[in-house]
Each structure stands twice: as structure tokens, then as C-alpha cells.
Amino acid sequence: MGMSTNQPAETARHAEERSARVAVTLFPLLILAGGAVALFFPEPFTGLSPFINPGLMLIMFGMGLTLTLPDFGLVVRQPLPVLLGVVAQYVIMPLLGWGISAALGLPPALAAGVILVGCAPGGTASNVVTYLARGNVALSVAMTSVSTLLAPLFTPLLTLWLAGQYLPVDPASMALSIVQIVLVPVILGLAVRALAPRLVDRVLPALPWVSVAAITFVVIAVVAGSAEAIFSAGLLILLAVILHNGLGYALGYGAAKAFRLPVPSRRTMAVEVGMQNSGLAAGLAKTYFAPEAALPGAVFSVWHNVSGALMAAIWRRSGAAADQVEEPAPR
């Protein structure tokens, strides 16, 4: 009897896991395809800009649906790794964005866009990438959740501090936008999960695909609106993004190693620090700065999913005994 009671839940979990694996494998290809189509044939998509923020809200609502209150229990049980991860997220990436912008001598709008990507919370695909990389999924979920909930406070203040020299920043208005785009949808998703868990369990396998579709849509909308600027400054932006993302992975891993966290947690920290909610950064940049300021976020959205998938594949194939840690499927 016990076996038959647990069977539907097990089946649902395996379906979600399988769906997540396929989604994270095809995700970079879909993002690349969407970005390329919008870049070379922007005209049909130039009217999509007003729908960027609703698309982001859908992504964050989906993230909220995957969370449960016990996911936050790790913050209480093991506060040091979560705190270390969130501090690394809001120290390493903003300062890297500022340093790379200065080192490459980026124009003001592009510099502000790179810094804003650095000041954004962790990326929504990081939990699945962590799972595929044999990282600590529970820690990944806790870090993404906490950094997302803190975004209305830290993202505007850090952007004001580091990007204010390039372009005017309205932190209060930006904070309100982040509350509307990020906080409200996540809390709504949490509430729906708590009130209708069985219904949400049925749709969980489809959620990775909803996120993939929504993020691809956001990338297409941003790239189409800035196609000319990408052609004129594309290589410089790509260099800035590759440096930002790669150094984020390296310094995130290094910070975890310095605090003697186990290998799976080091991988988690690398992914969480290096992968940003760059769609949010692109949307905010388009709203508060200039169209070209959204370019770093758009390019980062493509690149970090490609690099994250590659890194996960490499780590997953490295068969060290220390890495073989049993983890729950990503939520």
C-alpha cells in the first residue's frame, strides 16, 4: 500500500527531472536561435518592448510556484553557506561589472548596463544547472530565493553607487519596479503553491518550458529593439559578458573553497554567483537608462545559459567520488 501511495509522487518527480534535463539542454540552443532571429530580422519584433516586464513577471511567478516554505529552512539550519553565497552575489558581481566597464573603457550606457547585470540577483536557471553539475541543490534554491527577495533593496542601491557616475539612477523608482516585477509574482507563486499543492504538482513538469519560452521571448524583445547597437558594439559587449560571467564562476568557487565548503557547495556557489537574472537587468536598463544599456543583459542571457550548460556537462562527467552526492531533483 505504501508503495502505491508514493508512486504518483515519484512518477511526478521523475517527470519533472526529465523535463528539466531536456529544457536545460535545449535552452541555450533556443536562446541562441531566438537572439539570432531578432538580430538579423528585428522588424517583426520591435513592438514587443512593452511586454518585456510582463514576461519577466511570468518567469518570477513560475519561480515562486517551484518554491515551498521548507526551501527556506536551510537559511536557519545552515546560515553560513547561504549568507556567504548571498554576500558573494552582491559583492563579487557588482564590483566585477564596475571593474570590467572601467578596464574596457565602455561607453556610459554600456557600462551602466554591465554594472546593472552585476547588481541583479541570481539567475532563475541556476537551480537546474546546479543539479546537472552535481552541486548542492538545496543550497542553490536557498541562495537564489534569498538574493531574489533582497533585490528590491540591494539592486537599486548598488546600481546607484557603481553606475551613478555613468548615467542618472533613480533608486526609489527602480526598487518599486523590482517589487512589482520580482517580489509580488514570487510571493503570489508561493501562495498558490501553498493553497493548491496538488494542482501545482501536476504542472511542475511543464514549468521549465514555460520559463524557457518566457526568457527566450524577453531576449528576442530586447535584442530586436537594440539590433543596430549590437552590430556596432557587439564584440566589445561579448568580451565584457564573457569576462563578467567567467570571473564570477571562478571567484564564486574560490570564495566557497576559502571557507572550506565541500565540493558540491563550491559548484553551487560558482553557478549562483556567475549566473545572473540578466533578463531583469535588461528590462530595468531599457526602462531607466537607454536602449543600448539593455544590450549587456540580453547578451548575458544568451551566454550564461550556454556556459552554464557546458560547465554542468563537464562537472557531471567528472566522476570523482567526492562529487557523487545524492541530491533531490531541482524545484
> What are 281-324's pLDDT values in tens digits?
988 998 898 878 988 998 898 889 889 888 887 887 774 434 44
pLDDT digits (tens, 9 = 90+) for 200-259: 888 887 887 787 788 888 888 888 877 777 777 778 999 999 999 999 999 999 999 999
Q: In sequence order, what DSSP letters do the residues of 44-71 get, joined into one string?
A: GGGGGGGGHHHHHHHHHHHHHHT--GGG
pLDDT tens-digit map of 268-278: 999 999 999 98
Please report whether residue 5 resides in a domain. Answer: no
* 228 phi and psi angles, rounded to 5 deg: -60, -45
Residue 331 pLDDT greater than 60, yes or no:
no
Residue range 76-101: mean pLDDT, rounded = 93
Asked if the model's pLDDT at residue 55 lies above 60, the reply is: yes
pLDDT at 76: 84
Higher pLDDT, 42 or 71: 42
Confidence band, pLDDT 50/70/90 cuts, at residue 6: low
Q: How long, in residues, is the chain?
A: 331
What's the confidence (pLDDT) of residue 16?
Answer: 60
97 found inside a domain: yes
Which phi and psi (to 5°) does residue 276 adopt?
Answer: -110, 160
In the chain, the number of structural domains is: 1
Residue 8 covered by a domain = no
Mean predicted confidence (pLDDT) in 122-127: 83
CATH assignment of the domain containing 20: 1.20.1530.20
pLDDT tens digits, 283-295: 899 889 887 898 8
pLDDT class for 69, splitting at 50, 70, 90?
confident
Helices (H), the chain: 2-40, 52-65, 73-77, 79-104, 108-119, 126-132, 137-163, 171-178, 184-195, 197-203, 207-225, 227-258, 263-274, 278-288, 295-317
Please check whether residue 36 lies inside any domain of the structure: yes
Q: Is residue 61 part of a domain?
A: yes
Judged against a pLDDT cut of 50, whether residue 45 lies above it is answered with yes
Give the structural domain span for 238.
13-44+51-319
How confident is the model at residue 15, as a pLDDT?
66
List CB contacts of 261: < 8 A, sequence separation 6 or more: 81, 84, 269
Residue type, 299: V
Measure the CA–CA gap between 200 and 178, rounded to whole angstroms: 25
Is 88 part of any domain?
A: yes
pLDDT of residue 180: 93
User: Is 217 inside a domain boundary?
Assistant: yes
**11 vs 5: which has the higher pLDDT:** 11
171-180, 190-199, 232-241, 322-331 — which is least confidently predicted? 322-331
Residue 6 lies inside a defined structural domain of this protein: no
What pLDDT sits at residue 227? 78
In 3-state terms, what secondary structure has residue 276? Answer: strand
